[in-house]
Every structure is written in C-alpha cells, then in structure tokens.
Amino acid sequence: MTTPLLTTASGVKMGKTAAGAVWVNADRLSPYDYWQFWRNAEDADVVRFLKLFTELPIDEIERLGRAEGAELNAVKERLANEATALVHGRQAADHAQQTARQAFGQGEAAAGLPTVELDDAERTAGVMLIDLLVRAGLAASKSEARRAISGRGVRIDGEVIEDGDGLLTVDGRALRLSLGKKRHVVVK
C-alpha cells in the first residue's frame, strides 16, 4: 500500500526527516506534544487533517470547516482531541487538552506538562541551560538551543533568558522552561 506524501497547505512535507516530526510512540513524543502538534495546525490544513486523521463523519467535518475566526480555535482543539484519542486514547487526549488550557490560561507551571527530573547533583551544582534544552527535547542540538536563546525565544517561568552560558539551579522547586509560546516542560 502506498500513500501520497503528506504536506501542509504551505507545501512543507510532513515526515521524520522534517523538523518537528510527529511520532505516535509516546516514548518519542508525549501525548501532550502530539496534541499540541495538531492544535497548532495551520488554518488552511484543518479540514484536510480532520478528514485524514480522525474518524469524524464527513458531514460533521464540512460543518466544522465553515468555522472562522475564534471559532476556528475550537475546531483545532477538536482536531487535536480526535487525532490524539486515536493514537493515545480518549483519557490522554482529555488530559492533554486540560494541560494546555492550564499552561496557556495561567502563568504557573501546569501539572501534566512533560517533565525533566534533575538528579541531586544537578539540583545542587546546576545544569547548563543549553544542555537542558536538548535533554528536554525543546532543541535538537546545542547550536539550535544557542540560536533560540540569542533570538530571545527561551523563557524560565515566563522570564526571557538572554545568557545560556550559566548554570541553572532548581533548589527544590519546579520551574517551567519554555521555547517559544507553545512548547513547555517542567524542570524539577
């Protein structure tokens, strides 16, 4: 069996060689990140993705496809919920949606976000932020992490980080490490 190459409406191919690959294995990509991938789909892709990656009836997809403006966000959440439920189960999809609402609706670190656990030595001595970005899966390489920091795209608990050369200490508290507006992990 063969299928056509999947691309976004902008012509970018979807696949493991593309940046931001979508893995169905929870060990490679958490259900939360999987949900976020679908939630962040381009507006022009939503209807096509609903047809390809959900089991919704076509007439319902066509009805959802008429949404505009703020209503489109609800349709994107529906896409994320349905696609995630197929791969990870309804409970994981609901949990991912709840986690996203907590993460983006409030400034605090949300329960349910992917977590990076530091060992005692790292908590005491500290860990390089660049290494932590790679370890957390927020950056594919140290150079990508450095570029994100220099581009002011990395935040800790909402504060922009401008120097990635220092050591990060946690001191027994959880903090939220963010890359851009939509990718977050909790560091403990």
Instruction: Parse the chain into domains and list their residue ranges.
Output: 31-105, 115-187
Residue 69 burial (CB count, 10 A)? 6
Nearest to 87 by CA among 53, 130, 112, 110: 53
User: 82 or 37: which carries more pLDDT confidence?
Assistant: 82
- Tell me what pLDDT residue 104 has: 62
* Region label for 72, one of left (φ > 0), alpha (ψ between -120 and 50) or beta (otherwise): alpha
108 pLDDT exceeds 70?
A: no
Nearest to 75 by CA among 40, 26, 103: 40
Residue 114 burial (CB count, 10 A)? 18
- Tell me what pLDDT residue 18 has: 57
19 pLDDT exceeds 60?
A: no
State in words which class domain 115-187 has.
alpha beta
Contact 18, 82 (CB under 8 A): no
DSSP string, 15-60: STTSTT---SSTTTS-HHHHHHHHHT--GGGHHHHHHHH----HHH
Residue holding tokens 């922009």?
Answer: 160
Mean pLDDT of 111-136: 84
Mean pLDDT of 36-59: 92
**Amino acid identity at 12:** V
Q: Which of 38-47, 70-79, 82-91 has the highest mean pLDDT?
A: 82-91
58 pLDDT exceeds 70?
A: yes
Mean pLDDT of 166-174: 75
Contact 145, 165 (CB under 8 A): no
Homologous superfamily of domain range 31-105: Tyrosyl-Transfer RNA Synthetase (1.10.240.10)
- Tell me what pLDDT residue 109 has: 46
Model confidence over 128-152: pLDDT tens digits?
999 999 998 888 899 999 999 999 8
Structure-token pair, residue 173: 């508290």
